[in-house]
Amino acid sequence: MSKVVILGAGLTGLSTAYHLEKNKFSNYKIFEQDNTPGGLCKSIKQDGFIFDYTGHLLHINDEYFKTFLDSALGLENLNLIQRRSFVFSNETFTHYPFQTNLYGLPNNVISECIKGFVNRKTKIRKPKNFHEWVLKHFGNGIGKHFHFPFQKKLFSYDIKKVLPSWTGRFVPSTSLKSIVEGALEDKAKKVGYNSSFYYPKSNGIQTLPNLLLRQLQNKVLTNHKVSSIDLKNKIVFFENGHQESYNILVSTLPLNVFLKMSKEKSSTNLKSATNKLVCNSLINFNLGFNVGDLTTKHWIYVPESKYAFYRIGFWHNFSENMAPKGHSSLYGEFSHIPGTKTKKQLENLTQKCVNQTLSILGLSKQNIVIQKNLHLKHAYVIYDAWREKNLKKLHKKLNEESVYSVGRFGEWKYSSMQEAVLDGKIAAETIVNKTFLAASKTSLEKNIISQQDKKEATL
């Protein structure tokens, strides 16, 4: 039977392993660089607080995933929460999404948004970039007051170089009726993919990888950081000196990292893509406060460019176990393109974000009882023209080398935890089918040869 090697034990890698075993396929090994599996879905526990690697909320709309969660954990162990999310701009909190909730904003802003919508550029047939996409669907006012500055901060990238293909379910649409109604009435609306969400009652989002982990027969080999991959001879090398050969490789590593480490046939030319794949990094600052009833909000989007961060969210409102009694906690995020900021600049920016957060919330430094800064090296993939043109070709070439690069960063896409579990399921099932077909073919071939041998022997 083919030997499968899985690189990375985040949700996608763990789900691949789980689904291989579910299909009675145990000839695999799974390696992880960290000393704990979980990837982006790890949680940190400190002084009674729990922090995830920034807000990780569960959006479930796939029956298989829901059934899996229910049987492995029990849905009763998840809080089902109706979103209370806001936008903070012009010193005002408005309900999210901005494009249907202008209530409370200065009149000139509301007027710009409505006029902009009426005069939106509906004639643009196929928007070339996110900027044009906003002009077509929302107009210049809503763009100027929310989407342009917000997305620029989230991506840390020129939004005229970002394609609109990622928008899909992530950006709720609007109409003149919704805009006007939302300007006249202060009322949250159930729109968008995240109007309600689930969150584990205890232990943070790490509950999810732990569920998969608990059910695996094979152990995750932690502290195994891949240093190079010999695609020709099908061997993975690790920094600790270990090496492992494979027939099929499943990589959940960021695609640019994987390509950089791969040694290939001169004809394949995969490595040249390494620097073309753009992804931003994120600093996630987490704060614990000695204040019990800070806010009932779940999260706040902060579009204005004078604020260094683009979002803050409140752990204690996801589950009461995220902060000790009488305390509250939050996460905040700001992004940068790797290599564009020094360590000192990032430290200064983090401090600026903390100070600005305190001032928005009316708190002081004396209220902070814990601060935990986390660095997510890979956060948001940039959907640029190069990606659009070349990504499929890259994956095709990798498949020809018996490599499946899967998951959020393996596939170089925006995707959720649910999708990570489903990506792993698809990878496992593809491998099982492929090896089953190959095995049947070999046994068929063997059968034919032995029949021929028999025939020859009787001649």
Ligand X SMILES: Cc1cc2nc3c(=O)[nH]c(=O)nc-3n(C[C@H](O)[C@H](O)[C@H](O)COP(=O)(O)OP(=O)(O)OC[C@H]3O[C@@H](n4cnc5c(N)ncnc54)[C@H](O)[C@@H]3O)c2cc1C
Return residues touching ligand X (CB under 6 A): 7-13, 31-34, 39-41, 54-57, 59, 225-226, 252-253, 257, 282, 376, 379, 407-409, 415-418, 420
Residue 193 is classified by DSSP as T
Q: Are 15 and 212 in contact (CB under 8 A)?
A: yes
> Considering the complex, what minimum distance in angstroms separates the CB of residue 111 from ligand X?
34
> Considering the complex, what minimum distance in angstroms separates the CB of residue 383 from ligand X?
14
> Considering the complex, what minimum distance in angstroms separates the CB of residue 410 from ligand X?
6
Cα 401 to Cα 159: distance, rounded to the nearest angstrom: 35
Closer residue to ligand X, CB minimum distance, 120 or 224: 224
> By three-state DSSP, how is residue 241 classified?
coil
> Considering the complex, what minimum distance in angstroms separates the CB of residue 194 from ligand X?
8
Residue 161 is classified by DSSP as S
Q: How much of the chain is helix, strand and coil, in % rounded to 5?
A: 45, 20, 35
* Tokens, residue 336: 């940068």
Beta bridge partners of 80: 198
Cα 435 to Cα 377: distance, rounded to the nearest angstrom: 35
Q: Are 205 and 322 in contact (CB under 8 A)?
A: no
> Considering the complex, what minimum distance in angstroms separates the CB of residue 65 from ligand X?
10
> Considering the complex, what minimum distance in angstroms separates the CB of residue 110 from ligand X?
30
* Tokens, residue 93: 């909190």
Closer residue to ligand X, CB minimum distance, 204 or 324: 204
> Considering the complex, what minimum distance in angstroms separates the CB of residue 416 from ligand X?
3
Closer residue to ligand X, CB minimum distance, 87 or 102: 87
Closer residue to ligand X, CB minimum distance, 55 or 303: 55
* Tokens, residue 156: 């840390």
Closer residue to ligand X, CB minimum distance, 140 or 256: 256
Residue 439 belongs to what H/E stretch? helix 417-458
* Tokens, residue 215: 């059910």
Q: Are 120 and 139 in contact (CB under 8 A)?
A: yes
Cα 155 to Cα 157: distance, rounded to the nearest angstrom: 5
Closer residue to ligand X, CB minimum distance, 34 or 384: 34
Q: Are 55 and 331 in contact (CB under 8 A)?
A: yes
Residue 231 is classified by DSSP as T
> Considering the complex, what minimum distance in angstroms separates the CB of residue 445 from ligand X?
37
Residue with tokens 């000196």, as numbered in its chain = 241
> Considering the complex, what minimum distance in angstroms separates the CB of residue 448 from ligand X?
42
Closer residue to ligand X, CB minimum distance, 55 or 149: 55
Question: Exposed, middle or buried by CB within 10 Å (0-12, 13-18, 19+), for 121?
Answer: middle
Closer residue to ligand X, CB minimum distance, 59 or 120: 59
Cα 33 to Cα 37: distance, rounded to the nearest angstrom: 9
Closer residue to ligand X, CB minimum distance, 8 or 164: 8
